[in-house]
Amino acid sequence: MSIPLTPVSSPDAVPHRHEEAPYRAYIVASLLLGIFGGFALAVLLPLAQVLKWDWGNSWQALVQVHGQLQLEGFAGLFVMGMALRLTPRFSGTPLAFPPLAHVAMPLIAISLAVRSVSQPAGDSALRDAALLGSAAMLLAGALAFAAVILGMLVRPGSKAEATGWFFVFGALASVAAAVVDVWLVVDLVHRSAPIVSIGRQQALISLQLYGFILMFVAGVSTRAVPTFTGHPMAARIGRATALLLVIGVVVYVAAALRLSWHYSRNAARAEDVGLLLIAVALLSVVWMTGVITPRANRVGAASRHHFQLVRAALGWLALASVLTAWYAGRALRHGAVVDSFEMDAIRHALTVGVLTMLIIGMGMMILPEFAGRRIQHPRENSIAIGLLLALNIATVLRIWPAIEGVSWLSSTRYWPMAAAGALAASAVLVFATMFLQSLIEQRRPGWGSPPRLKAR
């Protein structure tokens, strides 16, 4: 039995050999920052509350560090690495500005590492300089990444179609988010404060999540998943969806920043409208993938269990979109804003249920290391099933206290959060171990030779 090394159909392949994007470095950095940073804090922060560890002001600062490590570090760097690898294939153009592709990752990774250490530290000139330097490095990394993506997609003859719209908007949003981050860090240093104001932090997180990360996720999902479901690619609907998502993000972030200065009922309504537009756009993304109404099953036998992770992630995307529309519609009727508990439920349905599950599921399906792994280790379906169960349970446990909201304010609410963090961290650790093992195995001389293959 032979298994093809490329699970994605050939039309998206680059016709000539060009310099390969350094996607592996991005993925390794993403996994390291996620496992030892963002996911570790996802376990420790709730435990600190329920076990009454006295972390003082550092606790709130580390909550914000956790958010940046997960969004810009774990999800952001993984998305960037995959975008650098897939954009030449989608557009039919070679990798643009290769030196910038190599520079962006270390700039962003070092920025996040410095931010993680400096923000919880006590007020000092050294802390201020470190924070300002980390924000500048993040902006430089975002500019380098955006230059590479735009350099491939704005060329004549690009075949990226609607996917290119998502990628261009996502690259621009990554720069916009880095600019906002610089502004917020400057303000943080000026006030000698331990944390960014909650309203402005919410605006930054939303720009990073919806404008940058989910924009790229939408571009990949609407291009790659239909090849497995037999769903026709709708270029016009794709472009309209990308535009709608951009409009929703701009409206929501602008309104959130306005509200961070002064409450206004009109700004509150605008924020709700922005969320409604985002919800509609994300539901359109789910429909375009074809997972709701598949017309065929083109998933190879070796990848079917991995594709269940992708299905589940898109199911959580649909559920998070419905939840967003429900909360935003209700708030709009009352001229109010979606409260912090409700936004927490939406955000973690997206980050745990969608991003983490999609990173693992799509990673196992389209990364060359996992295509080769299906030759080296053909009987690992139980691992995919275990990851599916762990991440679904983690998502439920994480959003449960947030949905309960003010009805559950006791410290016991942090137990399911800690359990969710532990389950998600374990799933990512398993994925990282498999990826690194395959990376090492496939670099050995004689990899893939007939003696390694087991008779079926």
> Which pTM does this prediction carry?
0.92
- CA–CA separation, 166 and 289 (whole Å): 14
Q: Above pLDDT 70, what percent of the chain? A: 93
What confidence tens digit (pLDDT) does each residue in 153-177 have? 987 778 889 999 999 999 999 999 9
Query: Would the pLDDT of 10 be above 50?
Result: no
Rounded to the nearest 10 degrees, what angle do helices 214-224 and 235-261 cross at? 170
Alpha carbon separation from 275 to 137, 246, 268, 331 (Å, rounded):
30, 11, 11, 11
Q: Above pLDDT 90, what percent of the chain? A: 79
Give the CA count within 13 Å in the CB-facing half-sphere of 446. Answer: 4
Report CA 31 to chain centroid distance, whole Å.
12
Pair 70, 354: CB distance under 8 Å: no
Pair 296, 207: CB distance under 8 Å: no
What confidence tens digit (pLDDT) does each residue in 66-102 have? 999 999 999 999 999 999 999 999 999 999 999 999 9
Residues in the chain: 456
Neighbour tally for 173: CB within 10 Å: 27
Residue 6 pLDDT class (50, 70, 90 cuts): very low
- Report the chain's mean pLDDT, rounded to a whole number: 91
